[in-house]
């Protein structure tokens, strides 16, 4: 478990947070799930045909889209954290790498996503289940950070 290293953000499209390994394909997602790992599916975009692959994921991060994209809608249906429209994500399928805000990650590397505020972090960050009061405090705190920088 690592310290919090902020990378970038996109549109928080389906709330929840998850730390997991990057998977670019259904085959890699299946491999990582068979090892008992949490999987964050990183894609250019999600289409309805990707539903089977999405069922393997614990979270989604897409380069395109927004809060009304297929990734967002299917993510909410499947109760997955989703960040859509994250323009700082560049996917290189030929080399099985993802560049996020200038940092190169390979499939199997850990990232953490927060679908409520759209933030992406490097590595595996320890997550805690918020109680309802803390959840609302965190929302207000994120608003304050957005306003005050």
Reduce the secondary structure of 31-94 to three states and give it as a string.
HHHHCCCCEEEEECCCCHHHHHHHCCCCEEEECCCCCCCHHHHHHHHHCCCEEECCCCEEEECC
For 16, phi then psi, to 5°, come to 120, 160
Closest to 72 (Cα-Cα) out of 82, 62, 64: 82
Residue 131's pLDDT band (boundaries 50, 70, 90)? low
pLDDT for 140 beyond 80: no
Residue 149's pLDDT band (boundaries 50, 70, 90)? low
> How many C-beta atoms surround the C-beta of residue 53 within 10 A?
19
Of 7-11, 71-75, 139-143, highest mean pLDDT: 7-11
Over range 131-135, report the average pLDDT.
Answer: 61
Residue 48's pLDDT band (boundaries 50, 70, 90)? confident
The model's pTM is 0.84
What radius of gyration do the chain's Cα atoms show? Answer: 14
């Amino acid at each position: 478990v690592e310290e919090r290293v902020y990378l970038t953000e996109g549109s928080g499209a389906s709330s929840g947070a998850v730390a997991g390994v990057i998977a670019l394909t259904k085959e890699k997602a299946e491999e990582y799930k068979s090892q008992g790992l949490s999987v964050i599916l990183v894609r250019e975009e999600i289409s309805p045909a990707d539903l089977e692959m999405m069922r393997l994921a614990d979270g989604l991060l897409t380069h395109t889209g927004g809060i009304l994209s297929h990734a967002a809608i299917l993510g909410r249906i499947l109760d997955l954290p989703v960040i859509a429209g994250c323009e700082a994500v560049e996917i290189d399928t030929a080399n099985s790498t993802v560049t996020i805000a200038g940092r190169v990650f390979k499939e199997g590397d850990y990232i953490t996503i927060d679908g409520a505020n759209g933030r992406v972090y490097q590595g595996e960050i320890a997550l805690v289940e918020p109680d309802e009061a803390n959840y609302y405090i965190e929302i207000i705190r994120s608003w304050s950070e957005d306003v005050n920088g």
